[in-house]
Structure formats: C-alpha cells, structure tokens
Amino acid sequence: MANWSLLGYAGPEPPERVAAARQAAGRTEHIFQMLNSSITADTSLDFDAVVIGSGCGGAVAAAELACAGHRVLVLEKGKYFSLSEMSGVEGEALDQLYERGGLVSTEDTGLAVLAGGTFGGGSAINWACCLRTPDYVRQEWATEHGLKRFATDEFGDALDAICKRINVTSTGISHNRNNELFIDGCQKAGYEVEDAPQNMADVSPGAPGAGFICAGDRYEIKQSMTVTFLRDAAAARVPAQFADRCKVSEVTHSKGVATGVRATIIGSDGQPHQLTIRARVVVVACGSINSPALLLRSRLPNKNGLIGKNLRLHPVSIVTAKVPAGAPDVVSWEGAPMTAVSNECARGPFGDNYGCKLECPSIHAGLGATGVAGLSKPGKHFKQEVLNLRRLTSIIVLVRDKDSGEVRLDKNGEPRLYYNLSEHDQASMLDGLEKAIRIAAASGVEAVGTTQTALGALRTLPPMSMVEARAAAVDGLVADVRRVGFPLYSVTLISAHQMGTCKMGSSAQTSVVNADGQNWEVSGLFVSDASVFPTSSGSNPMLTTLGTADQEAAAAKLQALRQAPAFGHQFAHKSRSNKVLMTSCNFQLDSGSQCGCVIQEGWALSCSHIFCAKHAQEWFSKSDCCPVCKNNTTNAQMTQVGRPPDESRLQLLGMLLTRPPTDIQLAASTAINFWEHQKFEEFRRDVTREQEFAVRLKRFISSSRKELTEVETLKNAKKAGTEELRRQLREAEHRLKQDRDEVATLESRIQQLSESYRQELSRATGVQTPFRARMR
C-alpha cells in the first residue's frame, strides 16, 4: 500500500464512503444468518434437501427448492463476509474470497487457476460479463451429446428469466478507457466487436465501485448470488438455512439412493465439529474442481470412470500494451472491467467453433505488477516499467479448449488438476494473440507484448505516422509470437472458468449425470454447476450455469416430493361427505425407515409427529423428547385421530374445558400448525400426483409416437419389400418371355435343319437307286 501513490493507484474507498454510496443508491444489505452460531458439538440434522456450494448453481437450486416449500440447507466451504468485513484491497480479497487464496494451479504449474472460495462462489468475484450460451454450442450439445433441451425455446426462456432476475442489461453501458481502446482498435483493424451485457445495477460512467467488483462487491452494484438467488432462498415461505466454513467430506448413499452428507463445520466456539445431514435430495454445486473431488471421496460406483475427466479451463493469455506518454491514462481498475467482446476468431483456425473470444480484463496494482514483471528485466527496468501501470492496456485471449484435462484426488482426498494445452488449442490461442496484437497496434499504442517470456519486454512500435514501418514491426512481432509458441514454464496462462468434470449426457456409459443433472448411479444426487457442461461453453459460463441449474431444479423438486416420507397427514375418503384423518406412525426404526403402521389412536406431539401406542410407550419410558425432531414433548396428548370429525370435536371440547387458558391457547396454536401441515402435505401430494400424471402422459405420448414411428417404418419397409418382389416378378416374367422366344427360335431352326436334312437325304437316295439297280 505504501507504493500505491507512486503507481497512481488510489485503492478502495474507505468503508464510510462505501456505505454512503450504497445508501444513496437505495441498496440495503441482507445479513445472512449462519447455522454455525448454534453449533457447539457434533450435530445431526434433517432436511428435505442439502445444497453443497453457494455459487451460481447452488444458489438457484436453493432458491427453487426453498420457494417450493422444501426445507433446505446450504453448505459453503468458504467464509461468509458481510459488506463491512470486506476491505476491497486486492491482496486481502485474494485471501478471503478466492479458492486457496488464489494459488490454485495445474500440477505442472503451467496454468494458474482463479476460482471463487467464498459465500456466493464465483459470482462474488467475477467481472459481471453476462454472455449467453452461443447457438452453435447449444446445437452441439443437443446433437452430439443428446441433450435436446439446450436447442429448445425452453432453455432460451430459462436464460431470459435468469437475465431478468440478475438484472442483465446491454443498454446504456459505459466503457472505461481500457475497453474504449479495445473497441477503437477492433474497428480500425476491421474486426467484429460488440458491447458485453452486464448484471450491474449501475452501468453509467463512473459508477461507484464498478472497478472493484473482483475484490468484493462492497457497493452491491453487481447482482451476484448474495443479492439475488441466495436472498430469494432466505426469504422463501420455508426459509433456507445456511452454514459457512463447512467442508463436506462425503455424500452418504445406500442401495443407490442419496441419504445426506457428512461434513466438518466450524462452530460458534471456533472449533471444528462433525456435522451429519440426512436429506432426501443432495445437490452438489462445489464447482468443477471440488464437485468431482467430492463425488470421488463419496465412493460412487463410477463404473465408466468419468468423474473428474473432461476438465475444460478456457485457458487465457494476455496481450499488454502501453499508450504513448501524453495520451489519456488507461487506469484499467476504474469503471466496469469487461464491457466489450470480440468474436472475430470464435470460429477458430480450423473452422470448428473452437476458437477464442477477445475481451478486456480488470488489472489492479498487484496483478498489474505481476504482469509487468514478466514483461521486463529484473531490478531497475522493472521499477521503471511498473511506474507506467496507469498507461497499460490489456486484452485477454480466452480459448474455447477442445481438448481436456482431469481432476484427481491426492492422498489426502484433495483435488489436483492435470492439464496440458493441446496443439489444437495452441493454434487457437496463437490466432487470438495475433488479432489482439493487431487490435492494440491499431488503437495507437506505443509498445505491445505478450506473456511469452522468450519475447522479453514490451516491443516498441514505430509511430502511427510511419505506416509501413509500424505494419512491418507488427508483422515481425506476430511472427515471433508464433515461432516461440507456448513451451512449459515460458508463458503465463490463466484460467477463470472451470467446466466439464461431471459431464452431462444422454447415456450412462458416456456421462456422469443425466439431462436433469441427476447422477446415473445414485438417485436423489444432483450436480448443479459448470462441471456438468459436456464441453467448454465458449463464453463466460455464468449464464449457462444459471440456466442449466434452473432446468435441473425442476427435477430436484420433483425428486424431493416423490421421496417425501409420510408424516401422518394423509386424507382418506370414508364417504363422499365425510373425511377421516388417517395417520401413520412416524417412529424411526433402526433401519432408518419409519414404522408406518396406520393408527387411529396414538400419541400426538406439539411438533405434529404422531406415534403408535407401542413405540410411544417404548420411547417415552426412557426419554422426554420427540424421537424424530428431538423437541421437548411436555405437550404430548393421547388422541383418537381416526374418529369422525363430530366425535373428535366433542372429545376435544371436553378436554379443553378442564384445562387452563394457557393450555387452551397452546392447543389452539398446535391445532392450527397441525392443520397447516396437513394442508401443505395434501398440496404436496396433489402436486406430486399432477406431476407424475404429466410425466406418465408425456411418456405415453412419447411411447405412442415411437410406436407409430415404428409401425410407419415397418409399413414402409413392407411396402418397399412388396415393390421389390413385384420388380423381381416382372424381371422373371420378362426373362421367361425371352426364354420362350429363344426356344421358339431354336425350334424353328431345328425344323429348318430337319427339312434341309431330309431334302439332302432325298437327293442322295435318288442318285443311289439307279446304281443299285445296275448292281442287281
């Protein structure tokens, strides 16, 4: 910080000014309450669904499930920071908000990896660039991977809804100097360029905090998950609960069904405790590094061995340039960082849509100085160059990698990344670097260079007035870039997008999860993050992740309803005009299942759980708490829940007349809660029936269409066979006619020969007769 003034780096604003700007904009912070505050020992809890991870995928899943009335717990490995706990300082933000403090890399250290490691996941640190899934990617996933949903209007509608919720806009966007130079260079070079939509509450020039959204969005200008979907989950009819500093060690499962998770959580005493969660639905949303690691630790069958495979990273290289002295400073840390994008080389050098995008990064003092170190000589030269930090402009080359790497576990069960830049992807990156250099040169920069260490410092270009000399210098630099290539340890490569390690597909042989995100081998286990991408997305993956998670959430909700246990609140029709409330015992057996026996007389507790006389006597002889939820049972009542309403009402009135007012009030409150629970369960059952009917109807229609198609195909085949037989018959008749004609010709010839023979014989006989007569 002591050197900030020398660099011309203002740094983040003080907290009081940030709070004032937030208040002036009418933004109110939501403080999330963490379950950790109630944890002081090893704990077991029950929920309908547990969501592991609070990034884009997990936030959408949590919101959808909670708003559908399910009890949801969101577990986050990183720490939750309120706005006042964030400093906005780049180095501190790396420690607080990034995975492993921003020090993740591939095993050979050839590629640095940046990923979110805090509450809100990657949405807490990304640059607000909201690009939709390219049409060619959606078509590829639909046709080559059997995921037809991506090519439908349904997925497009999901993206529309997501964009509306996170306030994505492409109008009125203001560009900082870095993006202005990029746009100007693209236009002068004749390259395609367009505005990049933003999920920002303020896209006007000089929007407070826009340049610091990668170091903690203290202004809440960015519509990240903590501002949108996680807040929706917290405000749901059945509010979701949250826990931070909670690392899940494994997903528990039995006989092919997910049953919950085991985790280690930091409690209110600052000590680690074991946390066991029992849940009907488990949503893994830890990101493409940690999701496969969790599944591998959970000892899933993994028969096809694909968990952790297919790692895509969108490898990035950077072109850095320096504007001339006297020109307006770039100051790339001011203003929204990534507001323009060029698809000039998206098709790629091979025309297969595995090319690259060109965008502008956010460069603060720390990252900027690191970049300068790779573009200058050590010592004095570095100090001279780093003083020009305000004059530096940068363009990133983001490659849609066609080839992939792998996530494996080390001996401690932690993920390790194995990845090499393939020849195909190197060609794409070289194509992008060339265009980025030409864009920078066209914008009028003084010097330009890449992160290839063999090229050394920024290469000074002749002035714009020396057109031919400048063009020759640019061509020479491009030639050197291609010649040097990307030898290991000789180039700086970065990844901010990790994808594909729990691949989605239409076949259990070629993927980890199905089209709904559910694991092929364990029912009730969903994966909801960018790890399900079949390939790299070819664009900043946030919207694709959110849209995919939205589609998956519908299946997760249905799964939660299908597996909902009977809490004893089921209505049975005794006659058309008289409903009798039938109940089943909620006592949990050693096997983990409920007793389930239908009872009409039993013990009803204030927590709405009901038990048969056998299990009530057995349990309450040794304990005074509910065996299901562990609540105190001082208000347990023997009740005949199966009697007709009039008789039950009279019995209840008789009981209440002998009770004090406080007990009557408590009984009324319990009855209301009990009735609400009954109606809610009835609603859930009706919804389930409707959804199951819709599924059965859809399957019937699909099956009927399939059968009709098969019948039509068989009909066409038989028709074709008949035509073929007729053709063969016609050919046979034709050959028969030809044979008959040939036989007739032969017979005629034979007759001619016979006649000729008789004539010859007759002549011969006429000559011999006189001779013979003379002999006699």
Whether the Cβ atoms of residue 60 and residue 553 lie closer than 8 Å to each other: yes
User: pLDDT-derived band of residue 692, with 50, 70 and 90 as boundaries?
Assistant: confident
Can you give the length of the chain in residues? 776
Is residue 650 over pLDDT 70? Answer: no
Query: In the chain, pLDDT over 70 holds for what percent of residues?
Result: 85
**Separate counts of helices (H) and strands (E) for the chain:** 17, 26
Q: pLDDT value at position 600?
A: 60
Is residue 518 over pLDDT 50? Answer: yes
> What tens digit of pLDDT does each residue of 439-492 get?
999 999 999 999 999 998 899 999 999 999 999 999 999 999 999 999 999 999
Q: Which of 101-115, 187-201, 374-388 has the lowest mean pLDDT?
A: 374-388
> What tens digit of pLDDT does each residue of 335-360 get?
999 999 999 999 999 999 999 999 99
* CA pair distance 282, 278, nearest whole angstrom: 9
Is residue 769 over pLDDT 60? Answer: no
Residue 83: closest CA among 32, 126, 42: 32
- Other beta carbons within 10 angstroms of residue 664's beta carbon come to 13
Whether the Cβ atoms of residue 317 and residue 433 lie closer than 8 Å to each other: yes
Whether the Cβ atoms of residue 474 and residue 438 lie closer than 8 Å to each other: yes
Sign of CA dihedral 274, 278, 279, 282: positive
Q: pLDDT value at position 78?
A: 98
Which candidate in 497, 569, 609, 615 is catalytic?
497
Q: 694 or 415: which carries more pLDDT confidence?
A: 415
Q: What is the mean pLDDT of residues 216-243?
A: 96
Count CA atoms closer than 13 A to 710's CA, side-chain side: 6
Q: What is the mean pLDDT of residues 427-431?
A: 98
pTM, entire model: 0.74
Q: pLDDT value at position 699?
A: 81
* CA pair distance 404, 417, nearest whole angstrom: 11
Q: Residue 637 pairs with which residues in a beta bridge?
A: 604
Q: pLDDT value at position 710?
A: 83
Whether the Cβ atoms of residue 54 and residue 290 lie closer than 8 Å to each other: no
Q: What is the mean pLDDT of residues 93-117?
A: 97
Is residue 774 over pLDDT 60? Answer: no
- Active-site annotation holds for 497: yes
* CA pair distance 615, 623, nearest whole angstrom: 12
Whether the Cβ atoms of residue 530 and residue 499 lie closer than 8 Å to each other: yes
Is residue 159 over pLDDT 90? Answer: yes
User: pLDDT-derived band of residue 706, with 50, 70 and 90 as boundaries?
Assistant: confident
Is residue 334 over pLDDT 80? Answer: yes
Sign of CA dihedral 369, 374, 378, 380: negative
Q: pLDDT value at position 148?
A: 97
Q: pLDDT value at position 570?
A: 30
* CA pair distance 209, 335, nearest whole angstrom: 8
**Alpha-carbon distance values, 503 to 122, 141, 226, 599 (Å):** 20, 11, 27, 47
Q: pLDDT value at position 772?
A: 44
Whether the Cβ atoms of residue 109 and residue 126 lie closer than 8 Å to each other: no
> What tens digit of pLDDT does each residue of 571-615 get?
222 333 333 334 567 777 776 666 767 666 666 765 556 778 778
Q: Which of 113-122, 250-259, 747-756 has the lowest mean pLDDT?
A: 747-756
User: pLDDT-derived band of residue 725, with 50, 70 and 90 as boundaries?
Assistant: confident
Q: pLDDT value at position 616?
A: 78
Whether the Cβ atoms of residue 555 and residue 518 lie closer than 8 Å to each other: yes
Phi, psi of 322 (to 5 degrees): -125, 125
Is residue 666 over pLDDT 70? Answer: no
Is residue 84 over pLDDT 70? Answer: yes
Identify the burial level of 633 via C-beta atoms within 10 angstroms of its C-beta, where 0-12 means exposed, 13-18 middle and 19 or more buried. buried
Q: What is the mean pLDDT of residues 690-718?
A: 83
Q: pLDDT value at position 215?
A: 95
Residues 6+ apart with CB under 8 A from 465: none
Q: pLDDT value at position 237?
A: 85
Domain annotation for the chain: domains and CATH numbers? 570-658 (3.30.40)
Identify the burial level of 524 via C-beta atoms within 10 angstroms of its C-beta, where 0-12 means exposed, 13-18 middle and 19 or more buried. buried
Q: pLDDT value at position 634?
A: 44
Q: pLDDT value at position 665?
A: 59
State the first-to-last Cα distance of the chain, in angstroms, to the nearest integer.
155
Is residue 294 over pLDDT 70? Answer: yes
- Which two structure tokens, joined as six digits, stand for 620? 């309450």
Q: pLDDT value at position 538?
A: 97
Q: What is the mean pLDDT of residues 214-236?
A: 97
